[in-house]
Each structure stands twice: as C-alpha cells, then as structure tokens.
Amino acid sequence: MYTDKALIDKILAGNLGAYKLLIAQHGRLVTHMVTRVIGNEDDVKDVSQEVFIKVYQNLGKFNYQAQLSTWIAKIAYSTSVNYVKKYSSKNSIRLDLTENDLPDELTPEDIFNAKNEAAFLQGQIKKLPLAYRTVLTLYHLKEFSYQEIEVITGMPEGTVKNYLFRARKMLKERLGRYYKK
Amino acid sequence: MKKLTDKEIQSLLDDSGKLEESHEVELYQRVFRELSTLPDVNVYPLAKDVVKILQKRAERIATIKTYSAISLCITFSFCAFIAGAFVVDRSLALKLLSVLYSYRWVIVFLLIVFNAISVIERKNVSNLP
C-alpha cells in the first residue's frame, strides 16, 4: 500500500499504472458525489471521467495542505456544479438557501410510489436542493469533517452545519408523515 | 424528563451519544442510517477508460509536437540555406528571394493553414475523448 505522496510521485513520473491505483482508491468517492450532485445517472460516467482527467492534469499542483481525498472531492464538486450550471435552470444551483427553499410539500404520490422506507428517503434526498444534497453526501457518506466540507464546497462552516441540520430535520418530518400514511 | 430538541438529538447522534428511546429519536436514527447507506449506483470501471483517454491525449500531443518540430527544422534549414547562398553567391540568393517573393501569397496561405490545423488539433486534444 502506497502513501499518497509515494503514489503521486509515481504518477508524476509518468506511471499510469499508479494512476489506475489512485482512481481505484477514489472512484467510489467521485461516483457517489457526482451522482448526488448532478442527479442524472446517464451522465455520471462522463462527468466522473472528466473529474479524473482534471485530477491528472492538476496533480502537480497538489500541495499536501489538505488530504488527497478532500482535494479530489473539491474537483469532483466543482466539475459537477459546472455540469449542473450548464444543463439546469439557475435556481437549481443556488447556494444561498433559506428554509423556504426546501422542496414543496410531500405529495401522496411520494408516499404511494415508494416501495419501502429506504426508497422513500432516497427519493426525498434526490428532491433536495444541490447544496443540501452535497453537504449530506459529504458528511454522512464520506465522513468529511465540517472544515473539509468548507474546503470542498467553499460554503462557510456555519452554513454547512445549518444546511445539514435543516435537511435532516426535513427528512425526519417527512419520514414521520410517511409512517402516518 | 425534558424533551430533547431536534438540534440536541442530531448532535447526540453525530457523536454516537446515548439517547432515550422516543418516536422522534427513532425517526432520526432511521434517517441517519439511510443517509449513511451508499446509494445504489453503478461504480463504473473508470480507471481503464480514463487511462485510455490520457494515453490518446499524450499520443496526439506527441504527434503535434513532432509536426511542429519538423516544420521548425524545415523553416530553419531553409533560412540557413538562404543565408549560406548569400555568403557563396549573392546574386543567386537575391534571385531565390525574388522567386519566393513572387509566391508570397502562396507561402502566407500555407503558413495560415498550417497554424490553423495546429490550433484545431490542440483544441481537439483538450476536448478528448
């Protein structure tokens, strides 16, 4: 098992096998992040490839001040946001959200169409604004700290905590209503 | 017992703290469990494809560099030839230059075409695959 430094040195020396190893180590992180941010499974592969091409091109600039996974997540986040900016409406990428920006009321279809609790919650997560989905993914799925999420997304730590709180509260309330159906 | 607020429940669950069982707590525990479950997405075999793209790019860049080097060598050799001709036979060199001058638009056209191809190639490389 190589350290990040040893792996990067090998890649910078032109060893593409070492780069395959780096992709294998961080592929899941990138795929999950891209999936949650762009919300369009058809383009996940293309956007993920673009992320790793950018990582390769900029690896020489990595300065070891953050963890390699944080740096890669930052590139994955900005690439995914750029994709969303290009193909979605302006509202879907707003990062200055208030409580009123949470998705509309729970519809009977939401409850009726969900096969089970997991499917219902995943459906509700998909409906969240981009900033909330990103924060939830980074915090729960990838276990990044608040500071690391700040580095990755550029959102202040207070905003990260606020979005995390609001999104989880909303999901809890929706789940409560799901069981009252 | 005092009822915990949403903030307190979330914070205790974040820190894996002990919580009294309640409906609210149970709902939060279910939400947290689902949030920590990897979504059902395809993890594509990215490594092979990305490396293939990078190799393709490297090959294209190498080809562009080779053609650029060849064209520079040709230009340099030609300039050296004219300079040499000036040293050996000044009138011959002047004749050569006047021939070149008469074909100046053809030469300018060729230079523009060559540079345009080079710029397009570079753009294509950055837009690969």
Mean local confidence (pLDDT), A9-20: 92
B 58-117 → A contacts, CB under 8 A: none
Distance, C-alpha A113 to centroid of its chain: 25
| CB A142, CB A29: distance < 8 Å | yes
Cut 0.80: pTM above it? no
Average pLDDT for B15-31: 85
CB A152 within 8 A of CB A144: yes
Residue in A23, A36, A121 nearest the CB of B31:
A121
Cβ atoms A70, A149 nearer than 8 A: no
Contacts of A140 in chain B (CB under 8 A): 32, 35-36
pLDDT tens string B68-113:
888 889 889 988 988 898 889 888 888 888 998 999 999 999 989 9
ipTM above 0.90, yes or no: no
The mean pLDDT value for A3-29 works out to 91
